[in-house]
Every structure is written in C-alpha cells, then in structure tokens.
A and B are shown apart, each in its own frame.
Chain A
Amino acid sequence: MSFFNKNAVHILTGLLLLVLATAPGCRTTLTESSSTATSASTASTSLRFADGVKAVRINTHNHSASNPSFPSSVTLPASTPIPTSFPGADGTETYLPGISADHFYEMNGTTGLSSKPDWLLDFQLGVTATSATGECAAFGGGSTLDPANFYRVAEKACATGDCAGNACMGTGSGTDKVFFRIVLDRDTTKIGSAENLLIQVEYQASALHLNSDANGLSDVEDSLDQLWKIHWSDSLASTATPKTFGMFVPPNYSACLSSGNGTANAPGSCPNNGASNSYRGSPVKVRQFMIPLAAYPDMKVIQFTRVKGRVDQTAAAGAISDGSAYIDDFCEDDEPLCLGVVIRSVSIMRI
C-alpha cells in the first residue's frame, strides 16, 4: 500500500467519524446527568432513606386461626371522623373504616412484631358483616368453598342485603365498603422520599369466566365477573378524589365454566364441575405490586378496592354468555371460591 493510499484511508476514516459525530438528527451521544430530584420531597430538609422496620406481614385471618392479625369478635364499622393522625383529618371529615389489624408479623409470617411499624398508620379490611353467612365481605365461615377465618369476598352476595343498590361498588375512596387499605405516615423520617413499597398479596381469585364477557371497551369492565383495582389517595375524606393505579383482579385463576366462556355446564353444577366433583376454585397465588411512593409524596392511602362485579349489573348484563343463565344458577352466597376473592396475607416492604 502506497503512502498516498494509507493517507487516503486515514482521511476517509476521519471523514466518516466526523460525519458520524456531527450528523444532525441521527444519533447523539448520551451522557449521564448529575442526579435529578424526583419531587419536592427530595429537598434538603427531607430524608431520602429512613431507618426503622423495613417490612411487615399481615395475616388476613382472625383469631380463630393461628398467627392471626385480626380479632375474632368485630363490630361492623360505621362512618366515623377521620382520626387526627390520618390523612384527610380536619376534625369534621368522616370516612368508613374497616377492621384494623391488631397483630403484625415479620416476613416469616409467624414471628410477631412488638408493635406496628411507625410508618404504617393502619391496615384495614372492609367488611359488610360480622358473620360470613350470606354476606359479601367477611371472614370466611369454613364451608367447602369458603375458607375458614380468612378475609373473603363472595360475589354472589355483593348485590343483596347491605350491598343492595350497588352499595358495595367502590371507587377507591374512604367511603367504600369492600377493600383492604394501607394507611401510611409519609414523614420522611419514617419512609424516605426515595423509598418505594413492595406489596405482596397472597390470594385466590375465582370466577365463572377467565375473562370478560364484553363487547369491546365501552363495557369491557362492566361485564367482568369481578373487578378490583388499586387506588391511592392523599386523603381518606369523602371529598378526596382517589387515583387509579392499576388492576388487581382480573386476572382470575380459575373459571368454573369448562371452557372460559363456555356454557357446557348445567345451571347448579358449578363449581363442582364434572363427575369427579373435585373443583375447588382458584389456587393460592402470590403477586407483587410495587407502589412508587417516590413519585408522589402525597401517596398516603393505598387501597385495593372491589370496584364492581357482574352481580352489580342488570339481569341481562349479568347473564353469562348464553344469555339465559345467571350467577344464581352457578354459585351460592357463601362461595368465594366459586366467584370471589380470598385474601390470605399481605406483606408490605419498604424498598
């Protein structure tokens, strides 16, 4: 290779690099910025990471079972003023509390904590009755399809009794009836401004259909067997507007109808689906939900809310896909494992 040719290669290569480096609109070189504050709470006066207990587990059953977090004897909650230390308290605003947890555990689920972590103001379960018999949201009564002592929601009963008139439909607010709710103290000495939560829910979600029976978006949620969403708010007050975070249920993990939306089963045959009579609803699942506290300093109430279900719809909309059979034909009132949700534990971790 001649000297000229060598230089030509070098010049050509240099030109190529120059073009690559300066061409507009094609590629740029990224550099990392210095750290950027996420929110106002990252001001110098706040702590980005706090000390203290990092995690807690709540066993969502009552004292009739081992290692419970809830008392055996409960009084049906009624509207009450928001406690002073709770978000939204102004001395006049009221909310509908749930049953508060009174025992807390380490993540192994058996070693009790001496007290509630200081960042957890409350953990509540929304109940509609003190007994499971024929009721929507209560601790389970122990029948075959109603796990004893666990917090559960039996959908078929969620449109009658105290739930009549769509009273047990929820929006994520402090006045909802059916939910589990985490109330946080966002003081940055307790939860740092750069910290987030990981919520781990152990539960079962059983349905008639694996999916919705809907016509596109306009009613895709109306026609779900059951719909739970995760909401958050800066206040428990009835005047507060809850924010929708995401969906909790669906997915459902079992469908008592044989083929998703099928109608092969005769009314009354569900959930004992088939000759073996072996069907027992959803398996127990554990899902993790990360809650981005760092994004919103006012994220103080995290609520998993029963939004609505098929029973809340009119008879026609509540019909399953053959248009003639209804939930009544398939499930009994006390069968959350036919159609409903059973919550077995909730773990909350600061991460």
Chain B
Amino acid sequence: MKRNGFFIQQYAILMMVGFFLTSCTGTYQSLPPSSTGTTSSTAVTHSDQSAPAVRIIFHKDHFSDVDDYNPDTAYHATISTKKICPGDLMRTAFANGDDYSGTATLMTTSDSTDTFLPTYRPLFLKNVSVDITNTYFPTVEADRFISDACSHRGIDNTPIASKCADFDRVPYSLASLPAAAITPTPSPTPTTNENYNTGFYRVRDDWCIGQGPIVHPDPESTKEGVGGVSIDIDRTQLGAKEDLLMLVTYHALNENSEAGNWPASRAVDGAPSLTPTTPGTVAGTDHTESDHTILKVNLIGTGETLAGLLGVRQPRVWAYTNAASYPVYLKEIATLEDPFGSLRTEQVYLPISQNAFIDRIRIDRVRGSYHLFQIDLYRLGNRSE
C-alpha cells in the first residue's frame, strides 16, 4: 500500500508538472509584451500613463475583433500587430472627456507601426478583454486568420464559433472571403445578417448554447458563464490602501427592451425577428423574461503577466474556471441586473485594498443578453496614513 501511495504521489507530481507545462505551452503564445503593456517595473514614459482614471468604450473600434484579422487584402493588405486575439483592448480614452455616445478623447497612440494603432493606457491598467465566441469563420480554411492561434478551431470537444459573445456588427467581409475549403461544411452555416450593427460588445443569450464553460445536458446551462469582461490591473502601480470606483454603462436586453429597442424592422438587413427555438423564449421576441440579464462582479487573483494574459485562447473564460488556480478573493461584490431593460450606468465600489493579490476585476455573465457600452475606472486616492 505504501508503495502504491508513493507511486500515486509521484504520478500526481508528474501530472502537476505536465499540467503546468501544458497550461503554459498550450495557451500561452510567445508574444512580446505590448508597447502599451505594463510590468511591475514599468515606469511612466508618457504622461497619459499617469492618468488617474480611464474610460473603456466597448466598441469594435476600440478593441480587436475577428474582422480585424480578415485576410482579404481588399481590407487589410498587411496586418502588423502585436495582438493576435480578438477581444483585447486597443484604444483607451480619458475619463475626463466625452463618453461613448459622443467623441471620446483617446489617449495618445503608442505604436503607429501597429495596424490597430494601440494607445497608451494608465499604468495601473494591464489589460481589458471581453469573451469572444466569434473567433473564426468556420467556412474559411484554417490558418487564413492570424487570430486562429488563439481560437479553438480544430480542437476536439470545443464548440464551433458563434456570435453569442461578439461585437455587434455585420461582418463586412464574409461574402468576399475565400470559399470554404474544409470538409464537411460546418453546420449551421454562419449568416451575415444577425446583428444590429451598433458596433458595441453584445451578448445574445439565445446564441450561446454550448458556448459556456459548463458541460451539462441542459442546453440552458451551457449558455451560462460566457460573455463577460476581464479587467486586469497592475497592483504595483496603485497604493496599498487604494480602492477603485467602477462605472458600468450597459443595456440589459429583455422583454422590456426588445419591442422598442431592438425591433426586427429596424435591424440592419432585416435581422432577427426571431422565431426562437430556445427553450423558455416566446415567439416573436428576441429577449424574454427567461433571459433576464444577470451580471456579477468578482475580484480575482490571476498573477499573470501581460504576455500571459494576451496569449490565452478565446473565449477566455474557459481558461479561468479553476478556482484553485485563480482564486476569487471577493466574491459577487455587485450584481448588475435590470428588470427594466433600460440603458443605465451602475457604480460599483471595488475594495481591492482588502487583498493585495486581487489583480482582476471580472464581470461574469450569469445569463441573459446585453449590450455593454462603457466602463470607467477611477482611482480613489491613497488612504495610507
């Protein structure tokens, strides 16, 4: 028995080593740190990096998305970027400027050689990432997109790309992309006309079956968990006793918002009036009471560097479900839930000074559909005596 126990111990250690190496080599892409990135030793090189607050506008023009990697030379003759994953923040705005509905004041471009023209960001902001389920076009041959490296294309037991969590826009390129060169042709074939073309980050609950990290026979359960936001912060750039204030401007989509806000007659190219097949929905409406949006804010420790964060495959939430590796230090400090289905701004106080290892603000989508317009982060001053 002792001998068996010893072997079990050895195997356990070997498995841990194997798991560790796999988790690094399997999801970590060998990227150089972004010029906008931060490390614990980063010093201010541009005045914008000292901004005491930041405005993040969740529009495709401010993030990278799958269309940015379109290989069609009519759109991108050459792509030169340090980013490979859709869903990463590229452009950051000043909080003391206009908001998402107007002309926000962007921080200075940090790298004009990068196709995405990333801007500086405050040093305390390491990265912002949204879960993206639309990471590749299934009808296009693999490796035609440079972002394929951080998608799950071709990996067993992973769902096909979906527009469950994506920027709300009509993919402008699909019709002109190379014809499918894979067999069999994926099903369902992605369509072009199922968006409202606002350009903002949008999660459509009824398109999320199988996209979440939960494996379960009930399709409703498999929709949960995906479609959130991770804001990674560099604690070395903040005071030990300093907290943050977060403002989230979003629009929960439910039966109160559907009829007026997102009517089929006003959608781009006639999308979707929906005759939903999703259990619990009501014919003729896109967003129903059963899909009432629930978002929860958790404060987590990942301990990851910027390079590590950028290399994780999308949808990123899949990589962070292990609570032992990524502990939730302050759980569910706020719920964003709006039965009125209206546009609104919610404030969330982030007591990060409670724990020095908190380095991620995570907005988890439990369920429901929503548009996310803007998140502001403000430093609240160093309270150290």
B344 contacts A251, C-beta separation under 8 Å: yes
B303 contacts A294, C-beta separation under 8 Å: no
- Interface flags for A274-310 (1: CB within 8 Å of B; 0: not) read 0000000000000011101011100000000000000
Q: Which residue of A lies closest to B196 (CB)?
A: A216
Q: Which residue of A lies closest to B353 (CB)?
A: A32
B304 contacts A296, C-beta separation under 8 Å: no
Contact of B378 among A37, A248, A250, A295 (CB under 8 A): A295
A7 interfacial by beta-carbon distance below 8 Å: no
A260 contacts B23, C-beta separation under 8 Å: no
Give the Cβ gap from A350 to chain B, nearest Cβ, in Å: 12
Contact of A30 among B9, B245, B345, B359 (CB under 8 A): B359
Taking CB atoms and an 8 Å cut-off, the chain A residues in 188-240 that contact chain B are 193-196, 209-218, 220-221, 224, 229, 232
Contact of B6 among A1, A20, A39, A193 (CB under 8 A): A1
A20 contacts B20, C-beta separation under 8 Å: yes
Interface stretch of the complex, out of B70-78, B94-102, B203-211, B273-281: B94-102
Residues of B within 8 A of A251 (CB): 338, 340, 342, 344
Between A36, A211, A224, A290, the greatest number of chain B beta carbons within 10 A of the residue's beta carbon is seen for A211
Residues of B within 8 A of A31 (CB): 236, 356
A19 contacts B17, C-beta separation under 8 Å: yes
* CA of A20 to CA of B13, assembled, Å: 12
B380 contacts A294, C-beta separation under 8 Å: yes
Taking CB atoms and an 8 Å cut-off, the chain B residues in 92-112 that contact chain A are 95-102
- Interface flags for B214-253 (1: CB within 8 Å of A; 0: not) read 0000000000000000000001111111100101010100
A33 contacts B236, C-beta separation under 8 Å: yes
Residues of A within 8 A of B256 (CB): 210-211, 260-261
Given A48-B381, A216-B197, does the pair A211, B235 have CB atoms closer than 8 Å?
Answer: no
- Interface flags for A21-64 (1: CB within 8 Å of B; 0: not) read 00111111111111111110010000010000000000000000
Give the Cβ gap from B34 to chain A, nearest Cβ, in Å: 13
Give the Cβ gap from A125 to chain B, nearest Cβ, in Å: 22
A116 interfacial by beta-carbon distance below 8 Å: no
A35 contacts B341, C-beta separation under 8 Å: no
Given A213-B260, A244-B99, does the pair A295, B53 have CB atoms closer than 8 Å?
Answer: yes
B52 interfacial by beta-carbon distance below 8 Å: yes
Interface stretch of the complex, out of B130-138, B148-156, B305-313: B305-313
A36 contacts B242, C-beta separation under 8 Å: yes
A250 contacts B20, C-beta separation under 8 Å: no
Give the Cβ gap from A116 to chain B, nearest Cβ, in Å: 24
* CA of A289 to CA of B95, assembled, Å: 16
A262 interfacial by beta-carbon distance below 8 Å: yes
Q: Number of residues in A with C-beta < 8 Å to the partner?
A: 70
* CA of A19 to CA of B20, assembled, Å: 9
Give the Cβ gap from A30 to chain B, nearest Cβ, in Å: 6
- Interface flags for B1-30 (1: CB within 8 Å of A; 0: not) read 011001001100110110011011000101
Taking CB atoms and an 8 Å cut-off, the chain B residues in 285-343 that contact chain A are 301-305, 307-308, 311, 338, 340-343
Between B97, B342, B357, the greatest number of chain A beta carbons within 10 A of the residue's beta carbon is seen for B342
A38 contacts B245, C-beta separation under 8 Å: no
Given A23-B20, A37-B382, does the pair A243, B97 have CB atoms closer than 8 Å?
Answer: yes
Residues of B within 8 A of A27 (CB): 302-304, 308
A16 interfacial by beta-carbon distance below 8 Å: yes
B200 contacts A217, C-beta separation under 8 Å: yes
* CA of A246 to CA of B359, assembled, Å: 25
Residues of B within 8 A of A213 (CB): 260-261
* CA of A48 to CA of B381, assembled, Å: 9
Contact of B238 among A24, A33, A288 (CB under 8 A): A33
B199 interfacial by beta-carbon distance below 8 Å: yes
Residues of A within 8 A of B241 (CB): 35
Give the Cβ gap from B316 to chain A, nearest Cβ, in Å: 15
Residues of A within 8 A of B240 (CB): 32-35
Given A27-B308, A251-B344, does the pair A194, B383 have CB atoms closer than 8 Å?
Answer: yes
Q: Which residue of A lies closest to B9 (CB)?
A: A9
Residues of A within 8 A of B237 (CB): 33, 36
Residues of A within 8 A of B260 (CB): 209, 211-214, 260-261, 321
Contact of A261 among B14, B238, B259, B302 (CB under 8 A): B259
A296 contacts B96, C-beta separation under 8 Å: yes
Residues of B within 8 A of A315 (CB): none
B379 contacts A25, C-beta separation under 8 Å: no
A212 contacts B23, C-beta separation under 8 Å: no
B48 interfacial by beta-carbon distance below 8 Å: no
* CA of A224 to CA of B266, assembled, Å: 16
Give the Cβ gap from A126 to chain B, nearest Cβ, in Å: 21
Give the Cβ gap from A220 to chain B, nearest Cβ, in Å: 6
B113 interfacial by beta-carbon distance below 8 Å: no
A76 interfacial by beta-carbon distance below 8 Å: no
Residues of B within 8 A of A65 (CB): none
Contact of B343 among A37, A42, A195, A211 (CB under 8 A): A211
* CA of A296 to CA of B51, assembled, Å: 9
A5 interfacial by beta-carbon distance below 8 Å: yes
* CA of A39 to CA of B97, assembled, Å: 18
* CA of A74 to CA of B14, assembled, Å: 81
B193 interfacial by beta-carbon distance below 8 Å: no
Given A251-B338, A260-B255, does the pair A35, B20 have CB atoms closer than 8 Å?
Answer: no
Contact of A295 among B338, B342, B379 (CB under 8 A): B379
A250 contacts B382, C-beta separation under 8 Å: no
Residues of B within 8 A of A292 (CB): 53, 245, 378-380
Given A25-B311, A211-B340, A292-B53, does the pair A244, B98 have CB atoms closer than 8 Å?
Answer: yes
Give the Cβ gap from B16 to chain A, nearest Cβ, in Å: 6
* CA of A295 to CA of B249, assembled, Å: 20
* CA of A26 to CA of B255, assembled, Å: 43
Give the Cβ gap from A210 to chain B, nearest Cβ, in Å: 4
B376 interfacial by beta-carbon distance below 8 Å: yes
* CA of A196 to CA of B259, assembled, Å: 40
* CA of A20 to CA of B23, assembled, Å: 12
A345 interfacial by beta-carbon distance below 8 Å: no
B308 contacts A26, C-beta separation under 8 Å: yes
Q: Which residue of B lies closest to A216 (CB)?
A: B198
The 6 closest A-B pairs by CB, nearest first: A294-B381, A261-B260, A194-B381, A292-B378, A211-B342, A247-B345
Q: List, sorted by A's number, 15 A–B pairs whose CB atoms are closer than 8 Å.
A: A15-B17, A25-B305, A26-B305, A196-B381, A210-B342, A211-B251, A212-B261, A217-B100, A243-B97, A244-B102, A246-B247, A251-B340, A260-B257, A295-B53, A295-B95
A-B contact sample (5 more), CB < 8 A, given A217-B373, A245-B376, A260-B341:
A12-B10, A28-B303, A36-B238, A48-B382, A259-B259
